[in-house]
């Protein structure tokens, strides 16, 4: 039997006997080699969303932010559960009175119960935040997904339109439009915020759709004879959802801040609606003497936003494909 003699680098291999430490040795077979590429069957099956959920559940931050969000939602939906005092029944004689039994936060400049107003203010913020986020997500996803999926002129058009909307800062645009609006309700505020808030989602959706549509499983679906629309709905969109969800969660928090800013400036929700932004604006006048009137609505606002952006962080970590593969 002829030897297997490497020809290249043979000059180095002329030595006949191996040197110390380089003798031919084989380990005894310590464990079963097993079948090549055997399937592990003991773990429970894990889909993408189920794995993400498992990952989130392990994080303490998820439970903290989740509890915050649930609490705020509860307050917004049923403020009556937390306070029986009408936020609009105020007596000027109580104005700026400190806390007393049944009125844990005290009274504001109009003599309204601050605790009650803080509880009832949640609804306005959440309604605008949730509505805006829904609108933005739907509009942004549809526009971005179509542009990314169809490409060509649709893509160019969207790129230009988003550039235009990007060029006008959100708060500035909202101030201009809101100051002109004849009716000011949660819906109008949400519409105004949404009409200038959708481009980032459209860009995100466009980017992920463009990368997903080049994946091989999409080509495989085409080879099976699936139509363009079918592929978009069944394969491309579900696989593009993660970054959109992450952005939407964080955006919810920022929209709540934007609403409060508008109300603070007096061009958001009208004073007849109890809102944190409005109350902060009211408290502004007494800031030197009674700063705590301002801190209650501001604190509630900050906690709410904190809940959503923390949740956004947790969701990002759970859904980020880069973090998953590592």
**Cβ closest to other proteins, residue 95 vs residue 295:** 295
* Contact partners, residue 304, CB within 8 Å, separation at least 6: 68, 72, 122, 125, 126, 253, 256
Residue 156 tokens read as 């160019």
Told to check if 270 binds other proteins by CB under 8 A, we report: no
Told to check if 101 binds other proteins by CB under 8 A, we report: no
Told to check if 286 binds other proteins by CB under 8 A, we report: no
Compute the least distance from the CB of residue 265 to other proteins, in Å.
7
Q: How many angstroms separate the CA atoms of 135 and 141, rounded?
A: 10
Told to check if 169 binds other proteins by CB under 8 A, we report: yes
User: Residue 77: left (phi > 0), alpha (psi -120 to 50), or beta?
Assistant: alpha
Among 25, 84, 101, 152, binds other proteins (CB under 8 A): 25
Q: How many angstroms separate the CA atoms of 181 and 136, rounded?
A: 20
| Interface of this chain with other proteins, residues 216 to 235, rule: CB under 8 A | 216-217, 219-226, 235
Residue 292 in contact with residue 205, Cβ under 8 Å? no
Query: Would you call 8 exposed, middle or buried from its count of C-beta atoms within 10 A (0-12, 13-18, 19+)?
Result: exposed
Give the x-and-dash track for 183-212 against other proteins (CB under 8 A). ------------------------------
The angle that helices 170-180 and 186-197 make with each other, rounded to 10 degrees, is 140
Among 71, 134, 154, 171, binds other proteins (CB under 8 A): 171
| Interface of this chain with other proteins, residues 57 to 96, rule: CB under 8 A | none
Told to check if 102 binds other proteins by CB under 8 A, we report: no
- Residues in contact with other proteins, total (CB under 8 A)? 94
Compute the least distance from the CB of residue 174 to other proteins, in Å.
10
Q: Report the candidate in 305, 268, 280 with the shortest Cα–Cα distance to residue 126.
A: 305
Q: Which residues of 108-133 are buried (b: 16+ CB within 10 A; e: fewer)?
A: bbeebbbbbbbbbbbbbbbbbbbbbb
Among 128, 131, 280, 315, binds other proteins (CB under 8 A): 280
**Cβ closest to other proteins, residue 85 vs residue 241:** 241
**Cβ closest to other proteins, residue 70 vs residue 81:** 70
**Cβ closest to other proteins, residue 31 vs residue 84:** 31
């Amino acid at each position: 039997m002829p030897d297997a003699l490497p020809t290249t680098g043979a000059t180095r291999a002329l030595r006949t006997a191996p040197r110390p430490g380089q003798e031919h040795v084989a380990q005894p077979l310590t464990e079963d080699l097993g079948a090549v590429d055997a399937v592990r069957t003991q773990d429970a099956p894990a889909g993408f969303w189920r794995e993400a959920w498992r990952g989130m559940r392990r994080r303490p931050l998820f439970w903290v932010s989740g509890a915050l969000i649930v609490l705020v939602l509860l307050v917004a939906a049923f403020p009556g559960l937390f306070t029986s005092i009408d936020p609009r029944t105020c007596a000027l004689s109580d104005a700026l009175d400190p806390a007393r039994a049944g009125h844990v936060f005290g009274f504001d400049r109009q003599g309204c119960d601050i605790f009650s107003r803080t509880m009832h203010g949640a609804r306005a913020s959440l309604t605008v935040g949730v509505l805006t986020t829904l609108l933005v997500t739907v509009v942004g996803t549809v526009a971005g997904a179509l542009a990314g999926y169809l490409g060509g002129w649709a893509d160019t058009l969207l790129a230009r339109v988003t550039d235009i909307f990007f060029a006008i800062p959100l708060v500035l645009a909202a101030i201009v439009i809101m100051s002109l609006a004849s009716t000011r309700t949660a819906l109008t505020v949400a519409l105004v915020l949404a009409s200038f808030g959708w481009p980032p989602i459209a860009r995100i959706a466009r980017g992920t759709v463009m990368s997903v549509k080049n994946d091989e499983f999409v080509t495989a679906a085409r080879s099976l004879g699936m139509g363009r629309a079918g592929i978009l709905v069944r394969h491309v969109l579900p696989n593009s959802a993660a970054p959109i969800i992450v952005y939407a969660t964080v955006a919810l928090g920022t929209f709540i801040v934007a609403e409060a800013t508008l109300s603070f400036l007096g061009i958001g929700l009208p004073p007849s609606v109890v809102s944190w932004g409005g109350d902060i604006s009211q408290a502004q006048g007494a800031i030197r003497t009674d700063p705590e009137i301002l801190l209650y609505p501001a604190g509630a606002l900050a906690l709410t936003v904190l809940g959503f952006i923390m949740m956004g962080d947790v969701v990002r970590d759970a859904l980020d494909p880069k973090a998953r593969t590592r």
